Structure 1
Amino acid sequence: MKVFYYGWDGFDNFGDDYIRKQLFYRYGFQHDENSKTLLIGGGTILPMDDNQLLYKNKRIGERDFDEIIVLGAGVCEPSSNENHEREIKFTEEFLKDSKFIGVRDTGSSKILKNSTVVGDPFYTVDIKHDENVKQSLSRHMPYIILQIGNQVGTSLGGVEGEFDTCKEVLKFAKEYLIGELNYNICILPFHRHDYSFCQYAMGYLGNKAFTIREYLDHKSIFNIFKYAEKAITFRQHGLITGIVTNTPTLATAYHPKVINVAKDFDLENICIRTDELNAKNLFETFDKLESLWDKEKIAKKKKEMSDKMDNFVSEIKRDRK
């Protein structure tokens, strides 16, 4: 099926890049500059910045579409950020007269309230065993994943308070996960902007911390999660990867969409809001993580969401034959 695809892919962002991969390879969508069907993939909102609206030299803001399919995007999430609010208004204006076929809405948008809700393309992943990754990881087992994201301090500057949030988790990892439980820590970036802070984290945690740069591709990241004892993640798609691999994952809720994903699986109690993140909450949540993480229930729900996505896309393509 030919569509005009728009998404935040191509920036070495594991989450959004993998959404495109699933939509194009699992479902056979094809990008076509002239298509009257807009497929919105990874990304939370439509940005107003003209430079960011460019997709292969075309501004989608000047295009007319007969219909819009939203898969793998939580459009118009709430935020206290002034620029974000302005972008929400822009998105509402752009989409107000559009016919929505379906949406993966992360739980808040007024303009999407009447749309069909389908699962994130991530839930359709079939994880294949990778012996090379397992062999590379074997000398580090058992290990805990610390997946750091740029929302909470990928540079040593950035938004005030974000770096302090990361430092709180690093201190917890060094003193408790390494110092008392003797775990190794796998530092796992999800975005190229994560690397600078990951280097800082490696230095801070010492020789019990490691990463596997040669295997940081899509297939391998799922295997790295799969073989981990547990994970702590700073990204929405870190939590979703934990769900897909059924790896008990503590999520720092930097944004409402993280909590909304957790709610889909009755996992609200594994989330800690960034403004409530401290040593006490980290210890208490991590200590009861396995009891909060019902693997059988999560596997069943993930299968339901995967089937729902497959069926939904099949209906879309069947209607257009």
Structure 2
Amino acid sequence: MAIGIVGNYGNNNQGDEAILEGILIQLKEVHNIEREEIIVFSNQPEQTRKKYGVQSAKLYYKRKTAPMTLITTMVKNKPIIKKLDMLLVGGGGIFMDLYGTEAFLFGMYGWLGKLSKTPVILYGVGAGPIITRVGKVLLRSLAHLSKLVTVRDPRSKELLQSIGVKSPIHVIGDPAFQVKKPKKIERTTNGIQIGVTAVPFHHSSYWPNEDKQMYRDYIEGMAYNLDKLLTEYPDASVNFFATKHPQDMMVTKEIKELMDLGDRCHICEDSLNHQEIVQFASEQDVVIGTRLHSLILALVTNTPIIAVSYHHKVKDFMDMIACGDYTIPIDKLNEDHDFFHHSYQKMAANWRETEERFETISTMMKRMSDKGMDLVKQTFQTRPADKILVLSNMYPSKHSKTFGIFVKNQVELLQDNGLHVDVIAIDDPRKGKIYLLKKYAMFFIKSLWNMIIRGRKYKAVHAHYIFPTGVVGMLYKKLLGKTLVVTSHGGDIDQMSKKSPFVQKMTKKVLENSDHVIAVGERLKEEIHRNFDITNEKISVINMGVNRHVFRQQDKTSLRERQELATDERVLLFVGNLIRAKGLDDLVDAFEFMQKQEPNLSLHLIGEPKDQAYFNELEEKIKDNAAIIVHDAMSQKKVAEWMAVADLFVLPSHIEGFGLVALEAMACRLPVVGSDVGGLHYLLANGAGVKVNAHDPDDLAMKSLELLRDEDLQKSIIEKGLEKADLYDQDRLISSVIDLYES
């Protein structure tokens, strides 16, 4: 298999070189492609050939004018590209028009692939800034010409969508996370070792537009911050290194000259390659990086990082790994001379927890990076990707961002795993007879019309909720012979099926006619087996899984400051629909008892009031208690931040199919107290949480207080909860769902 790779290679930027090395490693491990079969289009072909053992050609042939450069490059490189099985436009910030040429250059390679009938893959690219109309057109066309589009952070995905890219866009980890970790060596240095990288920000020697004042503010801010850090930690040393040599050397020396404690700084003047940078980073206690890949290569070794954001890509990356609290915009550096000190101080306050946090991030990003080449493999399978139809009576929209969000998350996971997915869903949560009749009528009409037009194209139909959604799925099964998978989320069995004999009969019929039934919890599986006589072999327990990229450990101190919470405030948190069945009356009663024992408690309720009459009752009940705060439903990212600041998560439900939100709390290292009902009975078992009696405020209050006061018990529950979150990671569970479509 002949592969071509295009990118900013051969430019002495070790970030880009690490990306190339990562791609080469993946091509060997996943596709068993030897380096001799790969041709890299490089700024310095001979250097790239010798360094990596690949074939190499010029990235472009410079002529007097830009049009002549493009024409010459197309003429020279088209015959090469025509012989390739795949052209991979790989990694780095190439999806931008900041410097004026990128959009034309990489857009040209998209068209070369098209003209040569060679499939083009956009692989782990960073997007932005895209500021010109021409740039938007060219880069949008490049995405549309590509067989697969993958980007390295969610913000890049949003930007491509904002310029009109309609193709599916997948977020993967940066290929540089594939670079091999160095062998551990015995450290010969004493004291705290602080690795630092800098960039000639707005300097005429490097930047497209010079700004002397911005450059001066940057180097002064770096100097002041590093001096403060060294002052507070007398045994610390600063070790400057560069990922782009020699361009970064000048600014590094100027920062050192401005420092009062420059004698405690060492500058590595060697031109380190990416593997040597990884080794260097592994010998530091922390890396303070301006260059993005100095941060990424430090993370490869699990080294904690602090970022100076000189470009939105740095902030986007730090936000993606939930380390925004360790990030400062470059233009604010000279206004906050304590940032490095305060950031390291937070890390040092619990160094073991800091190490665990960054090790978890490193593992997660490596896994996301693995996902990229898996997508490439799926894209080039000989058979076309399977097409799946998802039917659901719940789906997020402008009316509600959380309405059926778990269904949307699963759809995106299916797409990320290479499946083509169509969705027909009800996205309006509003109630009332008129709304119900209107939205279900439209749902059935759309579903039947789709069956006539596209029905035969689907490999399988996946219906969420047995009745009424599963009835539509059953029509696809009976009329077109499609595989039918139905997921029961609990309410369809516990409540809906009991509304009338007709609904119960139809529920049983859907379950019997489906090829496979997914129950989101063990108890739900037992109920389906017992009440509807469905064989256990036909039922799989696969919950929707927790998104570990969103729900994970974050810095509690900085997030509490952002929420303006008092340092001694103990926060109880509930997340879910604000309805009676969630046990909110029990929770309020328990909380008011707990307040008498622990006056610094607060209770935060996050969710949508699905039943306005009940919500009015709840508001009346809590109106005189200022420590009980109700929040509107919010994005999963915001929910994860509240879980990071809370001290206890409480889910006192009267019924619960699975209790995914409790699992999300566990993933955020938040101890959970929940009712011993439904899926929570299993989820909180074996010490992963504390189980209480449903409808029992006294039991809820006493066990919650006991947990708040027992730090050893908290630690035990947190650790076992993390194990449970790992077990139910959505990235792992989705493969089980896909297997059912194949059966």
Asked whether the two chains share a fold, i.e. TM above 0.5, the reply is: yes
C-alpha displacement at 1:118, in angstroms?
1.8
2:89 is aligned with 1:33: no
C-alpha displacement at 1:125, in angstroms?
2.3
C-alpha displacement at 1:304, in angstroms?
2.4
C-alpha separation in 1, matches of 2:254 and 2:370: 41
For residue 297 of structure 2, the aligned residue among 241, 245, 258 is: 241
C-alpha separation in 2, matches of 1:51 and 1:247: 32
C-alpha separation in 1, matches of 2:202 and 2:238: 19
The CA deviation string for residues 229-270 of structure 1, in whole angstroms up to 9 with x for no partner, is 111111221222232222111111222222221233221211
Tell me the residue number matched to 1:148: 198
Alpha carbons 1:155, 1:197 under 8 Å: kept: no
C-alpha displacement at 1:49, in angstroms?
4.9
Q: Larger relative contact order (C-alpha < 8 A, sep ≥ 6)?
A: 1
Identity %: 21
1:33 partner letter: I
Which stretch of the first structure deviates more once superposed, 218-227 or 148-157?
148-157
Which stretch of the first structure deviates more once superposed, 11-20 or 310-319?
310-319
C-alpha separation in 2, matches of 1:217 and 1:96: 31
C-alpha separation in 2, matches of 1:109 and 1:52: 13
The CA deviation string for residues 124-147 of structure 1, in whole angstroms up to 9 with x for no partner, is 22212275xx77xx3475310111
Which stretch of the first structure deviates more once superposed, 41-50 or 113-122?
41-50
Determine which structure has more spread, i.e. the larger CA radius of gyration: 2
Tell me the residue number matched to 2:21: 21
Alpha carbons 1:104, 1:117 under 8 Å: kept: yes
1:105-254 to 2 correspondences below 5 Å: 105-106=152-153, 107=155, 108-110=159-161, 111=165, 114-129=168-183, 138-139=188-189, 142-151=192-201, 153=203, 158-159=210-211, 160-174=213-227, 176-182=228-234, 183-192=236-245, 193-205=247-259, 206-214=262-270, 216-254=272-310
C-alpha separation in 2, matches of 1:50 and 1:302: 30
1:54-69 to 2 correspondences below 5 Å: 60=109, 63-65=112-114, 66-69=118-121
Tell me the residue number matched to 1:8: 8
2:314 is aligned with 1:258: yes
2:343 partner letter: T
Alpha carbons 1:152, 1:163 under 8 Å: kept: no
Alpha carbons 1:231, 1:249 under 8 Å: kept: yes
Alpha carbons 2:192, 2:237 under 8 Å: kept: yes
C-alpha separation in 2, matches of 1:112 and 1:120: 22
Tell me the residue number matched to 1:42: 91
Which stretch of the first structure deviates more once superposed, 277-286 or 287-296?
287-296
RMSD of the alignment, in Å? 3.4
C-alpha separation in 2, matches of 1:87 and 1:13: 27
Alpha carbons 1:5, 1:40 under 8 Å: kept: yes
Aligned residues: 308
Alpha carbons 2:119, 2:146 under 8 Å: kept: yes
Tell me the residue number matched to 1:97: 144
Alpha carbons 1:36, 1:64 under 8 Å: kept: no
Gaps of 5+ in 1: none
C-alpha separation in 1, matches of 2:248 and 2:15: 13
Alpha carbons 1:254, 1:273 under 8 Å: kept: yes
Alpha carbons 2:217, 2:331 under 8 Å: kept: no
C-alpha displacement at 1:53, in angstroms?
5.9
- Distance verdict in 2 for CA 1:155–1:296, change over 3 Å: same
C-alpha separation in 1, matches of 2:294 and 2:101: 29
C-alpha separation in 2, matches of 1:309 and 1:315: 10
2:109 partner letter: I
Gaps of 5+ in 2: 28-32, 40-79, 384-743
Alpha carbons 1:7, 1:40 under 8 Å: kept: yes
Q: Tell me the SS of whatever aligns to 1:279.
A: coil
C-alpha separation in 2, matches of 1:312 and 1:156: 36
- Distance verdict in 2 for CA 1:129–1:141, change over 3 Å: farther
C-alpha displacement at 1:25, in angstroms?
4.0
2:323 partner letter: L
Which stretch of the first structure deviates more once superposed, 304-313 or 152-161?
152-161
* TM-score where L is the length of structure 1: 0.80
- Distance verdict in 2 for CA 1:229–1:190, change over 3 Å: same
C-alpha displacement at 1:178, in angstroms?
2.5
Q: Tell me the SS of whatever aligns to 2:300.
A: helix
C-alpha separation in 2, matches of 1:187 and 1:96: 38
- Distance verdict in 2 for CA 1:40–1:202, change over 3 Å: same
Q: Tell me the SS of whatever aligns to 1:186.
A: strand
C-alpha displacement at 1:153, in angstroms?
5.0
The CA deviation string for residues 108-134 of structure 1, in whole angstroms up to 9 with x for no partner, is 322277212222112222212275xx7
Q: Tell me the SS of whatever aligns to 2:170.
A: coil
- Distance verdict in 2 for CA 1:46–1:169, change over 3 Å: closer
C-alpha displacement at 1:8, in angstroms?
0.9
Q: Tell me the SS of whatever aligns to 2:284.
A: coil
- Distance verdict in 2 for CA 1:156–1:170, change over 3 Å: farther
Tell me the residue number matched to 1:298: 361
C-alpha displacement at 1:215, in angstroms?
6.7
Tell me the residue number matched to 1:285: 343
Alpha carbons 2:14, 2:274 under 8 Å: kept: yes
